[in-house]
Structure 1
Amino acid sequence: MKKAFRIKKNREFQQVFKNGASFANRQLVIYYLEKKDQDHYRVGLSVSKKIGNAVVRNQMKRYLRQAFIELSEEIKARYDIIIIARQPVRDCDFHQVKKSVQHLLFKTGLLKK
């Protein structure tokens, strides 16, 4: 995922948490905020130490990044999106994670028709 498509700064995370909307399913929580001045979406990932050791956390982050790469053509532009992993995600493979991300994006209206 290109740097322009990432949210890295704490200030940007906090802005989405405070001003954005959220939705959740069993594996993931999504926060999203529309940004009128952007011409593409940006993604921030949060995987807690409660999920597992560094190997498991990094694997989950790779799965989430890859899911966004594969869904990039379908995601609406001009949004900041934060994904927070919940504990049940550690038992999921890539296809389950992608399906969960797709479900959240569909429910929040962030997928193009």
Structure 2
Amino acid sequence: MKKVATLKKNYEFSRVFNKGLFYVGRHIVVYAFPNRQSIKRIGISVSKKAGKAVLRNRKKRLIREVYKHYDEFILNGYDIVIAARGGETVFKYSDLLKEFKYLLKKLQIFDQEKYNCLKDY
């Protein structure tokens, strides 16, 4: 399994939150900011308003799996932060897949051609 590069420092998250573009979905908010590297890095943020620790960790795991599903179709050179929106309910994996793909397309960091080529096989 491939290792995913992550954002770890508070200033990295702050830079993406303050300077990056974002789009809001029903369950998640996706922020993107170009970095000067040829890699993509991800950060996941779930606030305490999203529930207790077990629920927050479940949401983080779901978001991480959705990111891994679309990892190869996301353009390199971006820092991406995915923030779960508040609420005590856990969202469905299929709903999250559709929403994440839609938000990536809105941010113009989704490689549709590569996605279509691999989908045909």
Tell me the TM-score normalised to structure 2 length: 0.83
What is the correspondence of 1:7-46 to structure 2 with a 5 Å cutoff?
7-35=7-35, 37-46=36-45
Looking at structure 2, the residues matched to 111 and 25 of structure 1 have their Cα atoms a distance apart, in angstroms, of: 16
Looking at structure 1, the residues matched to 89 and 100 of structure 2 have their Cα atoms a distance apart, in angstroms, of: 14
Looking at structure 2, the residues matched to 77 and 38 of structure 1 have their Cα atoms a distance apart, in angstroms, of: 8
CA contact (8 A) 2:43 2:81 kept: yes
**% same residue:** 36
Letter in 1 for 2:102: H
Which protein shows a greater Rg? 2
Q: Give, in angstroms, the shift of residue 89 of structure 1.
A: 8.0
Structure 2 portions without partners, runs of 5+: 113-121
Looking at structure 1, the residues matched to 95 and 75 of structure 2 have their Cα atoms a distance apart, in angstroms, of: 22
What whole-Å deviation, never above 9, does each CA across 1:59-85 have from its counterpart, x for those lacking one?
Answer: 110011111111111101000001111
Letter in 2 for 1:24: V
Letter in 2 for 1:59: R
Query: Which residue pairs with 2:3 in the alignment?
Result: 2
Looking at structure 2, the residues matched to 8 and 39 of structure 1 have their Cα atoms a distance apart, in angstroms, of: 18
CA contact (8 A) 1:40 1:77 kept: yes
Looking at structure 1, the residues matched to 78 and 88 of structure 2 have their Cα atoms a distance apart, in angstroms, of: 24
Tell me the TM-score normalised to structure 1 length: 0.89
Letter in 2 for 1:30: V
Q: Give, in angstroms, the shift of residue 88 of structure 1.
A: 5.0
Looking at structure 2, the residues matched to 60 and 89 of structure 1 have their Cα atoms a distance apart, in angstroms, of: 10
CA contact (8 A) 1:40 1:79 kept: yes
Q: Give, in angstroms, the shift of residue 100 of structure 1.
A: 1.6
